[in-house]
Chain A
């Protein structure tokens, strides 16, 4: 029986109306595909544009590159930050280790880290589509076919179309590859407890936990996905979950202990102590409001899917994952230095769940287990099934169109984008020839996504030129590593690490302040001044502004030693 027959049987009336509704359904699905396909095209243009840019676009990219360089030279980036060159890293090593072969082949370059991140988003989108198709067909083999495939593609595109994934997708940052490992782990573990073959089940459990470890050692935030996977496994088989969870903790803890010992304790200080940051409830609330507003039309079916599974079906790993990462990451997004990127995992979970909801609705394969709620709430609605089934044919594609509208973003200038923006009346709301659903107004929302221009590149090159004017034996202190890389200079300090550890009393800035007071640096280049207070005060007292250079919309301050220090 095809889904069309199924619908006709459910409807039981007027095949002509059903044929018309199915045509409208296909037209709307096509419109949704075009809309989300367009956002994919925007994403590809942004990625290609960014991959070619040789400086930091998002502050901190250069330090991730430096972690790759250090690993490539068989050195730990988790080092003593109180002595020259005052460098430390707050991130786990896996993303950087993956990039080491590229460093050996091509040297210190931004493009391969950005390309790696971009490809990881495509893999995640594929995994999301695969999960939607598999879960839909698993419960209803008759749903196998083109319609479910369309929905699976839409689900993958929904992930790539999210403005949050778009922002950070092609960055030289580890966050988005963590989401890839998290998604892979969840997809692998989804039905592991139902495997009858003991050997196969153990292999799959091993693969799932290995992927969770990969996610965790890519970025610490993956702990929330690990928690949700363990909760799901506990629901499906408590004894097995505890045994495997203990093994997982043992291996994960063992690696942690090894890194702590091998780095003389710096791993602990920089990845744990430096991640205990101030919490701003207003920031968490603002980011949550923005996320819900922009992603509402797919959050709704995802939430309905969770409710359905709680009361009328078995809880899937995707529901547990969605609830856990949405709640925990929404809370974490309030910490200093966090941002909308913290919702990327929730976007992946939302895309899977809403995709399953859409595919089940279009294939009319909902089933409600008999209980007091289905008897009281669902049974009286059964006579409306034909109407609801028909309505869903229209509503489901509209959800994707509504979502595409909610997350819509694009450049508003340039050869093609400028014309499209003119035709549809899409205006620049960021000040960077870019339309963003948030307009860069929410606190801690990533103010990135706009395309880079020749002027941005020229700005970076101007700063490099200034560095090259300084004799090679005189160090230069730059708040971003990209300029030092381009000028062939040593990377000195990772400001954010110093700042956070200073705030928790785990950093003594004495040696760095002494160098500043001795005017040991030929130049100091500042952007956000994310240094400890004592360091910023010393810079102000012993250096003065000589030039401001604009790059990516930010004003970089080039400071030179004062002839007469202020103290």
Chain B
């Protein structure tokens, strides 16, 4: 059941961590699933990986703020 109230900083942090991890795996999976491609991880992928990692770090940094409204 979705809450009928604002998210807290901690909840937002948890969402960022989950989305970041899922995104990181998804970006890596592009190469794993697309077996015919050559050349490894390209510049756009590297950027996307960096952004997903940054999202995870952002999420982690929000966890200690707990009950403040996001």
Segment among A6-14, A236-244, A261-269, A458-466 that sits at the interface with chain B? A236-244
Report the contact-size class of chain A (Cβ under 8 Å from the partner).
Answer: 20 to 34
Does B35 interact with chain A (Cβ within 8 Å)?
no
What residues of B have a CB within 8 angstroms of the CB of A310 in the complex?
Answer: 58, 62
**B68 adjacent to A369 (CB under 8 Å):** yes
Do A236 and B6 contact each other (CB < 8 Å), given the known contacts A281-B44, A310-B62, A371-B64?
yes
Do A239 and B2 contact each other (CB < 8 Å), given the known contacts A310-B58, A310-B62?
yes
Return B45 CB to nearest CB of chain A, in Å. 10
Bound complex: CA A121 to CA B52 (Å): 35
Does B69 interact with chain A (Cβ within 8 Å)?
yes
Bound complex: CA A373 to CA B62 (Å): 10
> Which chain B residue shows the least CB distance to A309?
B70
Return A370 CB to nearest CB of chain B, in Å. 9
What residues of B have a CB within 8 angstroms of the CB of A236 in the complex?
Answer: 6-7
Do A235 and B70 contact each other (CB < 8 Å), given the known contacts A193-B6, A279-B44, A281-B44?
yes
> Which chain B residue shows the least CB distance to A330?
B47
Does B29 interact with chain A (Cβ within 8 Å)?
no
**A240 adjacent to B4 (CB under 8 Å):** yes
Number of cross-chain contacts by CB at 8 Å: 46
A237-B3, A238-B3 given; name 16 further pairs at CB < 8 Å: A235-B6, A236-B6, A237-B4, A237-B6, A238-B7, A239-B1, A239-B2, A311-B61, A311-B65, A315-B70, A327-B51, A369-B68, A371-B64, A371-B65, A371-B68, A373-B65
What residues of B have a CB within 8 angstroms of the CB of A327 in the complex?
Answer: 51
Total number of B residues with any Cβ neighbor in A under 8 Å: 20
Does A314 interact with chain B (Cβ within 8 Å)?
yes
Does A372 interact with chain B (Cβ within 8 Å)?
yes
**B43 adjacent to A235 (CB under 8 Å):** no
Does B12 interact with chain A (Cβ within 8 Å)?
yes
Do A242 and B2 contact each other (CB < 8 Å), given the known contacts A235-B70, A371-B68, A372-B65?
yes
Do A281 and B43 contact each other (CB < 8 Å), given the known contacts A314-B70, A315-B70?
yes
What residues of A have a CB within 8 angstroms of the CB of B37 in the complex?
Answer: none
What residues of A have a CB within 8 angstroms of the CB of B43 in the complex?
Answer: 281
What residues of A have a CB within 8 angstroms of the CB of B42 in the complex?
Answer: 281
> Which chain B residue shows the least CB distance to A334?
B44
Return A318 CB to nearest CB of chain B, in Å. 15
Chain B 20-53 per-residue mask, 1 if CB under 8 angstroms from chain A, else 0: 0000000000000000000000111000000100
Q: Which residues of A contact B (CB under 8 A)?
A: 193, 234-240, 242, 279, 281, 310-311, 314-315, 327, 331, 369, 371-373
**A235 adjacent to B68 (CB under 8 Å):** no
What residues of A have a CB within 8 angstroms of the CB of B61 in the complex?
Answer: 311, 373
Bound complex: CA A304 to CA B55 (Å): 17
Return A238 CB to nearest CB of chain B, in Å. 4
| 3 tightest Cβ-Cβ pairs between the two chains A and B | A239-B2, A238-B2, A239-B4
What residues of A have a CB within 8 angstroms of the CB of B6 in the complex?
Answer: 193, 235-237, 314
Q: List 27 A-B contacts (CB under 8 A).
A: A235-B6, A235-B7, A235-B70, A236-B7, A237-B3, A237-B5, A237-B6, A238-B2, A239-B1, A239-B2, A240-B4, A242-B2, A281-B42, A281-B43, A310-B58, A311-B61, A311-B65, A314-B6, A314-B70, A315-B12, A315-B70, A327-B51, A371-B64, A371-B65, A371-B68, A372-B64, A372-B65
**A235 adjacent to B12 (CB under 8 Å):** yes
Return B66 CB to nearest CB of chain A, in Å. 8
What residues of B have a CB within 8 angstroms of the CB of A193 in the complex?
Answer: 6
Return A298 CB to nearest CB of chain B, in Å. 22
Bound complex: CA A321 to CA B43 (Å): 25
- Give the most central of B2, B58, B61: most A CB within 10 Å: B2
Bound complex: CA A310 to CA B44 (Å): 26
What residues of B have a CB within 8 angstroms of the CB of A311 in the complex?
Answer: 61-62, 65
What residues of A have a CB within 8 angstroms of the CB of B68 in the complex?
Answer: 369, 371
Bound complex: CA A237 to CA B7 (Å): 7
Return B17 CB to nearest CB of chain A, in Å. 14
Bound complex: CA A210 to CA B68 (Å): 31
Bound complex: CA A281 to CA B47 (Å): 11
Return A192 CB to nearest CB of chain B, in Å. 13
> Which chain A residue shows the least CB distance to B48?
A331
What residues of B have a CB within 8 angstroms of the CB of A371 in the complex?
Answer: 64-65, 68
Bound complex: CA A242 to CA B3 (Å): 11
